Amino acid sequence: MAQGEKQRSVLRINLDILNAVKDEGDAKPTHILYKANLSHERLVKYLDDLTAKGLIEVKQDGEARTYSITPKGVGFLIEMRHAEAFIQGFGLAI
Amino acid sequence: MPSGAVLAFLLNLLSAFVALLTSYYAYRTNRLVRNPVLGAISFGFTLLGIGLLVDAGTSLFTGHLVVESYADRVFVLLATFTYLTIQMVSYLVIAWGYARVAYRGEARGFVPAALVGSAAISLYGYTILSYFVALILIGFVVFQGFLLRSGEKSRFSGTVMLAFVLILVAHLVFLGSVLALGSSYAGGIFLVGIGVQFLGFISLLVFVVRSEVVGPR
């Protein structure tokens, strides 16, 4: 388990992955892995989950696999940004 | 109808609107984030909004500000009792939510302990008791909010803290007005309390609007 992962909630990890994918455009798993600070095994699980929910999409080009955020994923990030601002107002964190 | 009662009606009505709006946003956020404090805030502010609507309606119906002139009217007695009880329970729910986070599920004894002695002997005694209990509960929320804020500082938490502090001050003023019953200035003090409470809810409204217009990361 990557350092710091234990303290993060599942929602926080998903947000970190989505933000990493959004920032990169077509993001390679290694970039997401680095930015989201996760082990490879756990990253694959989270990426599969986010893909199944339609928040990111996978593109396969030969051996290379990249991920990009979907419009639904962008909408979710905006919604979560408001939610995070609201929850922080009461001294809480995601 | 005295202008003080109309002002009290309007300020309570607007405060109720902000309380219910805060409740809705807490509910909406809780659907995404799943946090027990948000659940408590949502439920607590719903109760608070209903209580403020009851109080606004009572002010409008009677045209009076303070409890002493209500004594011979059963309806007003019931309305006042209902408002004070709802208000006390609403702050209890919010404080309980914070207690659950602060003490990690060890707050089971918090609810009965906070309600001990809240049996009403008279409306006057019940009013003093309910404002006193509300003061303690809001004080607890402010204290816990301050502790949590020190760990998770954000540009939004100051506005919420200000709102709770203003609501706390308002309840000190309410308590003062009840203790001053019989004097000519009790109604004036009560109206000041409603005004301070309203400013607290305006602060909450500013926070809710700011959290909605926050830009991209």
Average pLDDT over residues A45-71: 90
pLDDT at B108: 56
DSSP chain B: --HHHHHHHHHHHHHHHHHHHHHHHHHHHHHHH--HHHHHHHHHHHHHHHHHHHHHHHHHHH---SGGGGTT-HHHHHHHHHHHHHHHHHHHHHHHHHHHHHTTT--TTHHHHHHTT---SSHHHHHHHHHHHHHHHHHHHHHHHHHHHHHS--TTHHHHHHHHHHHHHHHHHHHHHHHTTTSTTHHHHHHHHHHHHHHHHHHHHHHHHHHHS----
Instruction: Examine residue B123 and state whether it is found in any structural domain, yes or no.
Output: yes
pLDDT at B65: 54
Query: Residues in chain B with pLDDT < 50?
Result: 117, 119-120
Instruction: Examine residue B164 and state whether it is found in any structural domain, yes or no.
Output: no
Higher pLDDT residue, B59 or A33?
Answer: A33
Instruction: Examine residue B56 and state whether it is found in any structural domain, yes or no.
Output: yes
pLDDT at A2: 44
Q: With CB atoms and an 8 Å threshold, state whether B29 touches A81.
A: no
pLDDT at B141: 85
pLDDT at B169: 93
Is the CB of B39 inside 8 Å of chain A's CB atoms? Answer: no
Q: Which CATH number is A10-89's, of 3.90.550.10, 1.10.10.10, 3.30.559.10, 2.60.40.1730?
A: 1.10.10.10
Structural domain span for residue B75? 3-153
pLDDT at A23: 87
Instruction: Examine residue B158 and state whether it is found in any structural domain, yes or no.
Output: no
Question: How far does the CA of residue A65 sit from the closest CA of chain B (Å)?
Answer: 26
Residue A94: list chain B partners with CB under 8 A: 33
Q: With CB atoms and an 8 Å threshold, state whether B101 touches A92.
A: yes
pLDDT at B217: 59
Number of domains in chain B: 1
- Smallest Cβ–Cβ distance between A91 and the set B32, B148, B214 belongs to B148
pTM: 0.80
Is the pLDDT at A37 greater than 70? The verdict is yes
Question: How far does the CA of residue B157 sit from the closest CA of chain A (Å)?
Answer: 4
Is the pLDDT at A5 greater than 50? The verdict is no
* Domain definitions of chain A by residue range: 10-89
